[in-house]
Amino acid sequence: MTQAHRLAEAAREAETRGENARALALYDDALAELGSHSSDPLAATVLRWKGTLLRETGQTEEACRHYLRSLAVAERTGLADVKAHVLNCLAIIAQRRGDLREAERLYEKASECATEGLEHRLLGMIQQNRGVLANMRGDFPAASSLYEESLKTFEIAGDDQAVSWVLNNLGMLHTKLGHLVEAQKHLESGLAIAKRRDDALVEEIITLNLAELWVRADDLELAEKLCSHSLEAANRRSDRLTAAEALTCRARIERKRGEFDKGIASLQMARFEAQGSEDRMLHAEIQRELGQLARDRGDTPAAKDALSQAAVEFRNVGALHDAVETETLLMHLSPG
């Protein structure tokens, strides 16, 4: 194993433990070993791994730059499997930015390259990501089918890490549909895998989604405990995206308790943390929560303004189910 390989593997291990600053430094060391004009497939992989860490912590533009550099190396190598991986990542960026048509195009290209490169695990990942896309669009039967297909792929391959990802997505889907027992089963199964693997990032993401589930179930004490745990971990990792999501969850808890001023403060912090992430769904969700908070405190004009903005943003990113839900909230506001 070369020094570059050793550094890259050390970076992956640090990332799994939630040591993001160390992981980023090790990725940079690996890239320095490879050289700025390397055609080694490892260079494409390291650039992609670093880009994904940046993406997952909310640094979307910087992540995209790394993916484009990875794609340039992948094209120099001529290896279909290397190209397939980075196309999948670029599709996730397009999806976050609300360009669902471009995301679908990139997923299709990634699938073609993965098939050519015999990358069966990646095909399962693309299935899962297409499930997320279907979920955004409100096509829940398609999302469920794609998740279940990818889950079977990963279970057959014995890929526990990928299984935990899909279980998390299935849990989120069932929470959204109000199937809370089923959601809890999927999320707790995914959490057990993450803990067994000492995968700090996945553990904290699933913990936050369990908090969202308990908000839906009105167990606010447990929801607050899990939300606080996830927020503290996100802050330790300098993960601004997860921090913004946790703060939005905390605002829901505060709204349900009638702590409206605290809820507004949490949403203001969520907006600040979400800056730079370019996650348009998250921005719309923060805006919708602000509208519901204004509604519950009796400020109908502010509620109408916030919910109207959220509905437009949901429609702009193709999240039609969320748009309709938000428009229904608007319709039920009292005149004023």
SS (H, E, C) the chain: CCHHHHHHHHHHHHHHCCCHHHHHHHHHHHHHHHCCCCCCHHHHHHHHHHHHHHHHCCCHHHHHHHHHHHHHHHHHHCCHHHHHHHHHHHHHHHHHCCCHHHHHHHHHHHHHHHHHCCCHHHHHHHHHHHHHHHHHHCCHHHHHHHHHHHHHHHHHHCCHHHHHHHHHHHHHHHHHHCCHHHHHHHHHHHHHHHHHCCCHHHHHHHHHHHHHHHHHCCCHHHHHHHHHHHHHHHHHCCCHHHHHHHHHHHHHHHHHCCCHHHHHHHHHHHHHHHCCCCCHHHHHHHHHHHHHHHHHCCCHHHHHHHHHHHHHHHHHCCCHHHHHHHHHHHHCCCCC
What whole-number distance in Å separates Cα of residue 321 and Cα of residue 308?
15
Tokens 């390291």 correspond to 46
Tokens 């428009």 correspond to 327
Please say whether the beta carbons of 162 and 185 come within 8 A: no
Please say whether the beta carbons of 90 and 71 come within 8 A: yes
Low pLDDT (below 50) residues in the chain = none
Q: What is the mean pLDDT of the chain?
A: 93
For residue 142, give every residue at least 6 positions away whose Cβ sits within 8 Å of its Cβ, in sequence order, or none: 131, 134
Token digits of residue 110: 């990634």
* Phi, psi angle pair for 222, to nearest 5°: -70, -40
Token digits of residue 79: 């290896």
pLDDT tens readout for residues 215-258: 999 999 999 999 999 999 999 988 999 999 999 999 999 999 99
Tokens 């990942």 correspond to 125
**CA neighbor of 8 nearest in space, from 44, 59, 61:** 44
What whole-number distance in Å separates Cα of residue 142 and Cα of residue 133?
10
- 3-class state of residue 317 by DSSP: coil
- pTM to 2 decimal places: 0.90
pLDDT at 214: 98
pLDDT at 16: 86
Exposed/middle/buried for 101, CB within 10 Å: 0-12, 13-18, 19+? exposed
pLDDT at 156: 86
What whole-number distance in Å separates Cα of residue 290 and Cα of residue 252?
9
Token digits of residue 299: 């400020």
